[in-house]
Structure 1
């Protein structure tokens, strides 16, 4: 495997995996002695944090959209009718 991929796999193991205490200690020593590894690990950590925050923002937007749609529906009809409309549609029952 290419050295860059080996290094990425090593970084991912320590950032996302569950290294043993011995591995964690070795990792800290490597970070102190290898500035390139330390820089790459910091960049990867920042990337993971950014992706995590972007996912949270997207989820929040989707939940807000669902909430606003549900609010609009409940204003037009009763909440029970809105909540069971898909079930009635699947069962083929006519609407009142």
Structure 2
């Protein structure tokens, strides 16, 4: 595997996984020996956070769209019901 991908896999495993005590110790050792690892991990963490927030925003927009659609249908149904209430009352009356 390319070194950049291996590095990304290492950072992801640290940020997203549950490292074993041995992996946690290895991570600490790598932080001491690689001065660019901490900034790279922080950048990746910010990226994950941005992706999470973008997903939340998209979900919020979709829910608002569903709510608007439901409100429109409810309002329209309410208008139709109000317009046809008189007809329904006439149809409910017993015929002779």
Measured against the shorter chain, the TM-score band is 0.7 to 0.9
Q: CA deviation at 1:2?
A: 1.3
Q: C-alpha separation between the residues in 2 aligned to 1:63 and 1:32?
A: 46
Q: C-alpha separation between the residues in 1 aligned to 2:46 and 2:18?
A: 19
Return the TM-score normalized by structure 1: 0.73
Q: C-alpha separation between the residues in 1 aligned to 2:74 and 2:19?
A: 50
Calculate the aligned-residue CA RMSD, in Å: 1.4
Match for residue 89 of structure 1? none
Consecutive unaligned residues of structure 1, counting only runs of 5 or more, are 79-96
Return the TM-score normalized by structure 2: 0.73
Q: C-alpha separation between the residues in 2 aligned to 1:58 and 1:28?
A: 36
Compare CA radii of gyration and give the structure with the larger one. Answer: 2
Structure 1 residue runs of 4 or more that deviate by more than 4 Å after TM superposition: none
Query: Which protein has greater RCO, CA pairs closer than 8 Å, 6+ apart?
Result: 2
CA contact (8 A) 1:32 1:38 kept: no
Match for residue 58 of structure 2? 58
Match for residue 77 of structure 1? 77
Question: How is 1:12-51 mapped onto 2 (pairs within 5 angstroms)?
Answer: 12-51=12-51
Consecutive unaligned residues of structure 2, counting only runs of 5 or more, are 79-96
